[in-house]
A and B are shown apart, each in its own frame.
Chain A
């Protein structure tokens, strides 16, 4: 079975600084995809970034980048130059290949607060 662990229930960062949100995963499948979603207080789930297990480079999307360390089974989200609007819940999720490859397994999330 797949498992996503987000060990930081809450994180604080000063505006304009960078912050790293931790995510570790557990799977025996060599082929998998990792996703990060943002959930602001308004409630919607917003897709941020994707990393495939065979991708040679770390994924980047604007101010978001993924620090993918395959041997350590970690896929940490790095947000550069934090903004007040980055305050939200952040979820890491994983999908593996195989029969139920449509399923996303989510972590419990990290609540990020950006201070002015």
Chain B
């Protein structure tokens, strides 16, 4: 079975540019998570979707960040305009049912974003 798919794997852009990260969750999973990983802050949850609906976006840093999930098989995380401090690895994860203790989140390979 295919795992979580993310694209691109690497993105280098200049400050001020728009960046769009893409994610395809595991088929049949109804929960989707976007995380950011940095050396300083570790893994941070940015936003959580359940059945395509954003449930918790309290981790989104600021208005420059937005996320959508138009259908069960696709989600985007957009940064506009991008800043150097956005440089990080962005992970998408999916799970069968976000609201149970045993629910396991499966991560994609991540997108390494560098903003110059």
Contact B101 A91 (CB under 8 A): no
Contact present for A109 and B42 (CB under 8 Å)? yes
Interface size on B, residues (CB 8 A): 26
1/0 contact string of B75-116 vs chain A (CB within 8 Å):
000000000000001010100001111111111111010000
Q: How far is B102's CA from A96's CA once the two chains are assembled, in angstroms?
A: 10
Chain A interface category by residue count? 20 to 34
CB-CB nearest in chain A for B39? A108
- Closest residue of chain B to A103 (Cβ to Cβ) is B45
A15-23, A41-49, A62-70, A72-80 - interface stretch: A41-49
- Complex alpha-carbon distance, A37 and B50, angstroms: 22
B contacts with A: majority SS: strand
Is the Cβ of A97 less than 8 Å from the Cβ of B101?
Answer: yes
With CB as the reference atom, state the residue of chain B lying closest to A107: B42
User: CB of B18 within 8 A of chain A?
Assistant: no
Residues of B within 8 A of A43 (CB): 89, 109-110, 112
Residue of A50, A53, A102, A106 touching B43 (CB-CB under 8 A) = A106
* Residues of B bordering A, CB below 8 Å: 31, 33, 42-43, 45, 48, 50, 55-56, 89, 91, 93, 98-110, 112
Tell me the A residues contacting B by CB distance below 8 Å: 31-33, 35, 37, 42-47, 50, 52-53, 91, 95-97, 100-104, 106-109
A-B contact pairs, 9 of them (CB 8 A): A35-B104, A45-B107, A52-B102, A96-B101, A102-B50, A102-B55, A102-B56, A102-B99, A109-B42
